[in-house]
Homo-oligomer: A and B are copies of this chain.
């Protein structure tokens, strides 16, 4: 069994209003890797946000008093903190250098997913897409329209972890596939019934994608995962990957 992780190269700098699916289809064709049925397309959230106009020019942001105070405590830019708070519905953890919030969409992550890198312009930051699941769904529909191919799509972002060091890529939007593979009730090699095995496959796919997306110098914001037999779904959401607050083990 073999799974391929293919970096999509040659995309232009994405701007508001761009036909992201069209550009990705074109780049994949140009490099000789046209999309196939069953492919999973993993897209860095920054280019989705740029195409959707979800960027903020910090020079236009007036920080509130709360933002000023949090900024002093965390050592962050007050205009950035204001932008983070506007995109959050709760602050989960704060420390010098650390501001972990619950985003409007429901994700728990540093800086509400607001991202400076790979956004052009001195003071421009990218927010998370308004509804990353919908972004993924629209992407799939456009791919279908352009190519007739049936793919799954994941919008990804890099997140830190509570207990483990370093960041990993995770899914913040998903469409076309189950994000968790529930293996409870399946049996292992020795006939033992798996009791607790629920695999976060969409996060593992996002992590695999960063093996090619992570090459910043080459500017690869998109990966194609080919050969992974996912469970199709038209109703899944990346928010299924977020532990409900009442079950969060480390509030």
Contact = CB atoms under 8 A, between A and B. Distances in A.
Contacts of A195: 116
Contact of A5 (B5, B160, B161): B5
Contacts of A187: 216
A112 to B, nearest CB: 14
Interface in A151-174: 158, 160-170
A198 B210 CA distance: 13
Interface string A89-131: 0000101001010000000100000001111110000000000
A199 interface: yes
A167 B197 contact: yes
A144 interface: no
Copies of this protein chain in the complex: 2
Interface stretch (A22-30, A59-67, A133-141, A217-225): A217-225
A203 interface: yes
B242 A212 contact: no
Contact of A165 (B164, B183, B194, B243): B243
A200 interface: yes
Contacts of A56: none
Given A118-B190, A163-B242, A93 B250 contact: yes
Interface string A218-238: 111000010010000000000
Contacts of A241: 164-166
Given A98-B249, A117-B194, A165-B240, 10 more contacts: A1-B215, A118-B188, A120-B190, A161-B162, A162-B163, A165-B241, A166-B201, A166-B241, A168-B200, A189-B216
20 contacts: A1-B215, A3-B208, A3-B212, A4-B5, A93-B250, A117-B194, A120-B190, A162-B162, A162-B248, A162-B250, A165-B180, A165-B243, A167-B198, A167-B200, A168-B199, A169-B204, A183-B216, A187-B216, A189-B219, A204-B208
